[in-house]
Chain A
Amino acid sequence: MKANEQIPRNALVWILLGMAALLAPHITRLPLWVVAVYGVCALWRLQIYRGVWPFPKRLVKLGLIVLAGTGIWLSYGSLLGLEPTVALLLTAYAMKLLELARRQDAYVLLFLGYFICITEFLFTQDLLIVLYSLLTVWLVTAALVALHQGARAHIRLAPLRQSGVMLAQAFPLMLVLFFLFPRIGPLWTVPVKTHAARTGVSDNMSPGSISNLSKSDAVAFRVSFEGDIPPKAELYWRGLVMSRLQAGVWSSFNYYEVPAAERRAAPVATEGEPLRYSVLMMPTQQNWLYSLRYAESAQAGVMQAPDYRLFRPVEVEEQYRYTVRSWPDAPLAPSLSDWRRLAELRLPADDNPRTRALAQQLREGAGSDAAFVEAVLERFRQQPYIYTLQPPLLGEHPTDQFLFDTRRGFCEHYAAAFVTLMRAGGVPARVVAGYQGGEVNPVNRTVIVHQFDAHAWAEVWLDGEGWRRVDPTAAVSPSRIEQGLEQALAGEGSFLADSPLSPLRYRGIDWINSLRLRYDALTYRWQSWVVGFNSENQLQILQRYLGELTAQKFVLILLGSGLLVLGPLGIWLMRARRGPAMDAVTREYLAFCARLARLGLQRGPGEAPGDFARRAAAAQPANAEVVATVTRLFEQAQYAPAGTMQREAAQRIRQSRRRLRPR
């Protein structure tokens, strides 16, 4: 291996193509200048190839590295965390082009390329991204092959073909390894995503926070029920319970704000068959989980908060699947502790005087807390309240202004106003945020919950009954609950107004919708079986198909599948080389002779074609003419300069073979 091996031009082209393909999926996460660095480095390398510019001097390279590091630090605010690390890697990768002089450099560059492909997977393992990455791996491997095919006059596709063949041959064994390789937990902690946007419902709610979420068509989670799917109007996915109102913002209690005695949820009497379902949640970078009330999960790592919601001690950074059992009718907290009662009744003093007055007036008019709830809902129903994604801004006493003046709001306005009224009337109440409804995918019977299904509602505590769910939005806009946001906003036309290309906007067009749902079902399958494949699935699958797992079986399967894949491959490779090298004309001529032999006319060893033709003419006059033509063609092609008539001659000999007649 000599050190001064040059990089052929073809290989350079493939390398640049591969690099561009590797960069593409990262672009949205990178500062624009990193992309510019790629362009400049590629241009520079091409100019080096053309002999216009020199390779950069060492000092220049050092300067560039320092500059890049500083740039990343300025863009991200730190060099730690996954995003800056990957950005730094990509920048270094681009600049490595300026050092690409020898074969050795190319190897480093291409192997780094494979690694960059992996960094993409750390951000998303979406089916389309994975398919795309397969393409980039193909390109990078083609560059590796081109590196060994030497300089050629034209850019050829041969490297692409060779690498494609090899990757295809490697694929089956990869699957075997993928399913058999033991999945062990992380060996040490690794840099995490620090710049990923938190998605989903946030832990505080002010006017506008839910309606902002409603502009997104991203999937929040998918649910698959073991039994029947409950009606849409019953699907209230509880995520957060917000009991505190401060400066117009609703928020939940921190763990430490709750007295020690209150930190465990009071036991709930569960009766009857629960709903069983599993939720596949997309990463949110937050730690609460969504479930129907009243939910319990036997899964390790899922915990229950005192307000009967589920959460994880760590944030959901990757997609996460959990299984839940829910008893929708179980009474929640029939008795309320003093601390809890106080907490759920607290209102900031001197706020919203008109609301307080209204609450007291309605409470006095109603005979009971339950009647009071009904009276408030009745008021929402009777008076001209409007459900809209575009509510007007509110001023100093927001609830007063909303209830008496503007009367236009989204679910968070109604939920907040309702809870304020309840508390002012002496009824413990709180805001619950999460998602409502979802889209049932008929292809695989999952419920797809999108971000625009985000919703806020209320819970009031009634003596003897415990916490009861009340949704004031349902009073204002029943279609929101029964049919979903799109129908509720049909008059306004504001559903996904900011994303005109979202396929969800075209649910009315049948084929688009069916395509979308099919793709979603595929995604669900992909996410749960491939991306979510873990040691549990692995054990289940292996035990189902192999019975008891032993080391022997394991080794046997590995070896067996290896032989099964590599054996035929080896035979194919070896067979392709067997047989003497011969040109097409000779091959066709020999095939012609073989055909004649089957007709009873064997060409003797070393018998010249001319002699054989004369003998054939005597033995089989019927074929004399054909044999003479073929022999003439063969001899002419043998002595003609290469590339003049050989192809045509071979073709004509092949055609003549069919004209041979049996005796």
Chain B
Amino acid sequence: MSYAPEAAQAGTAPGSWRERLRRRFGAWIKRRIPPARSVTLDQRRIFIMPSRVGVFFLLCLAVMLLTAINYENNMSYGLTFLLATLFIVAILHTYANLAGLGVHAVLARAAFAGQQTEFDLRLERGGRRPRFDLRLAWPESNEQRINLIDADSEVLRFYCPVGRRGWYHPGRLLIETTYPLGLLRCWTWVDLDLQAVVYPQPLASAELPGQAAEAGSGGALPVPGAEDFDGFRDYRGGDSLRHVHWKGLARGQGLQSKLYAAHAQSDRWLSWEAFAGLGTEQRLSHLCYWALDFERRREAFGLRLPGVEIAPGSGDGHRDQVLTALALHGVERSA
């Protein structure tokens, strides 16, 4: 039942009618529910159909009706009709369980290829009515089941396995409910306009070409503690939390970062050219590995890619900048 509109399945021939149908449906739903970071569910976005259980229920009603007819039993007619109208009333209740619900994109966390990315979103109850039995899932993510009874909103986290470097689009988020009776399935597919950066998969190489002169760096082995305390400066966004001068903060000196001087004086450069002769992905993977390696050793480093140059630096912000540049090399900035 959880059919994902945009998750193109491998193995379907591109020209097949199913694929065409899927594309047309994708285009239609994109017009109907355009991507947005914040969505309040309303009748434009909500679909409702009998669930499989509902169809079974209708079959049971048919048997009851036949019993009533064959036994000419008025109370059986009565009960059958009561349940039939209960089904109709359930349409409204199931719809009301989804309508007015607010969904807000919170963040998409970057991940390395082959690992899992995290998406956070906030579900807002919208109104005083409690919400029951909500099921949320992206086509490839885990599913979350949630009741919003007392809480006004709740932040949900989803994990999606990511494959290739670049942008990862989770597709449309399925939100469905069968509350209160399970007879009807009310659902929507919202595109929260979330995308996560997928970094290249780090790939170790024996040494960093062009820097081989650096003696004793031990190739792939990190050298712990190879840094000296240099002083304080005001905290800047991107500084590692590990470097925050917590004791000073506790004394009321404001947020400060400890500065460390890398013991190597010369700035290091990670260069696209250093891995000449290898394939693009392999190059990026090696660069990624070394970027992480430098970061671990708190060494400042810069990155040179065709068309991109990032000045040497260090810290979490710098690292993310470098990794993002690697991730998006040759990929359109936004899809």
Contacts and interface: CB of A to CB of B under 8 A. Distances in A.
Interface stretch (B93-101, B188-196, B228-236, B291-299): B93-101
A564 interface: no
A66 interface: no
B180 A174 contact: no
Contacts of B81: 173-174, 177-178, 181
A122 B75 CA distance: 9
A122 B82 contact: no
A12 B64 CA distance: 25
A573 B93 contact: yes
A545 interface: no
B134 to A, nearest CB: 10
Contacts, number: 174
Q: In this complex, which of B1, B70, B83, B84 has the most chain A Cβ atoms within 10 angstroms of its Cβ?
A: B83
B3 to A, nearest CB: 12
B123 to A, nearest CB: 12
Given A111-B60, A141-B86, A184 B69 contact: yes
Contacts of A2: 143
Interface string B121-141: 000111111001100000000
Contacts of A531: 74-75
A190 interface: yes
B118 to A, nearest CB: 22
B243 interface: no
Interface stretch (B51-59, B244-252, B277-285): B51-59
B66 interface: yes
B75 A121 contact: yes
B92 interface: yes
B88 interface: yes
Contacts of B99: 574, 577
Interface stretch (A17-25, A162-170, A653-661): A162-170
Interface string A94-123: 000000000110010001001101100110
A318 interface: yes
A170 B89 contact: yes
Interface string A132-148: 01000100010011011
Given A147-B182, A173-B88, A574 B75 contact: no
Nearest to A188: B70
A579 interface: yes
Contacts of A183: 72, 77
A166 B86 contact: yes
A185 interface: yes
A73 interface: no
A190 B70 contact: yes
Contacts of A104: 53
B82 A576 contact: no
Given A107-B182, A149-B133, A581-B127, A1 B76 contact: no
Contacts of A103: 182
A110 to B, nearest CB: 9
Q: How large is the interface on A (under 10, 10 to 19, 20 to 34, 35 or more residues)?
A: 35 or more
Q: In this complex, which of B63, B71, B153 has the most chain A Cβ atoms within 10 angstroms of its Cβ?
A: B71
B147 interface: yes
A318 B76 CA distance: 14
B92 A118 contact: no
B67 interface: yes
Given A149-B132, A170-B88, A574-B99, A107 B56 contact: yes
Contacts of B147: 149-150
Contact of B71 (A171, A186, A562): A186
Interface residues of B, number: 58
Contacts of A125: 73-75
Interface in A560-584: 562, 566, 569-570, 573-574, 576-581
A519 interface: no
Contacts of A197: none
A118 B74 CA distance: 10
Interface in B146-197: 147, 152-153, 178-182
B149 to A, nearest CB: 9
Nearest to A118: B76
A593 interface: no
Contacts of B32: none
Contacts of B67: 115, 118, 122, 190
A115 B182 contact: no
A130 interface: yes
Contacts of A578: 100, 127
B85 interface: yes
Contacts of B145: 150
Nearest to A104: B53
A573 B89 CA distance: 11
Contact of B124 (A178, A534, A581): A581
B90 interface: yes
B96 A577 contact: yes
Q: In this complex, which of A148, A169, A185, A532 has the most chain B Cβ atoms within 10 angstroms of its Cβ?
A: A148
Contacts of A166: 86, 89-90, 93, 180-181
A260 to B, nearest CB: 34
Contacts of B133: 148-150
A533 interface: yes
B79 A121 contact: yes
Interface in B264-285: none
A184 B65 CA distance: 11
19 contacts: A107-B182, A111-B56, A115-B64, A121-B75, A137-B83, A148-B179, A174-B82, A177-B85, A178-B77, A186-B71, A190-B70, A531-B74, A573-B92, A576-B128, A577-B127, A579-B127, A579-B128, A581-B127, A581-B128
Interface of B: 1-2, 51-53, 56-57, 60, 63-64, 66-86, 88-90, 92-93, 95-96, 99-100, 124-129, 132-133, 143, 145, 147, 152-153, 178-182
Given A118-B73, A137-B82, 12 more contacts: A111-B60, A118-B76, A122-B71, A125-B74, A144-B181, A145-B179, A149-B179, A170-B89, A173-B89, A573-B92, A577-B129, A579-B128
Closest 9 CB pairs of A and B: A577-B127, A170-B85, A177-B81, A121-B75, A173-B85, A577-B100, A573-B96, A174-B82, A170-B86
